[in-house]
Amino acid sequence: MDIPKFLLEKAEAIAGNGKMMEVDNKPVTLKCMCCGHIETFANAIEAYNIGWDCPPFFTQIVCCNLCPGSFVAMGCTEKHAKAHERWRAEGRPKDWEAPEE
């Protein structure tokens, strides 16, 4: 199956170099769309390997390793917001934690 031209163009624009899923080896600063955490990485591959949802691997959603991008995509962040409240009070954890019921 051929990839539609408009998707290829979008992927090329996100990758910034005309090749789908290829990443420049430039530092990238990302801000999580869920919790607002900001972090700088050597490149997008490093961010992705640590667990960030970010372009060009995930388009239009940028989420840190502690905030599942699917929550943002589906608009289901209410339960996860409790975790954000804990982070503000107790500090940001190093590992991901499942949302409380």
| Beta bridge partners of residue 38, listed in sequence order | 31
Distance of CA 55 to CAs 4, 17, 30, 94, Å?
19, 13, 10, 22
pLDDT (0 to 100) of residue 99: 53
Residues of the chain with pLDDT under 50: 1, 3, 16-21
Q: What is the pLDDT of residues 72-92, one digit of tens each?
A: 777 777 777 888 888 888 888
CB 35, CB 67: distance < 8 Å: yes
Show the tokens assigned to 83.
């975790």
Write a three-state SS string for 25-38: CCCEEEECCCCCCE
Q: pTM surpassing 0.75?
A: no
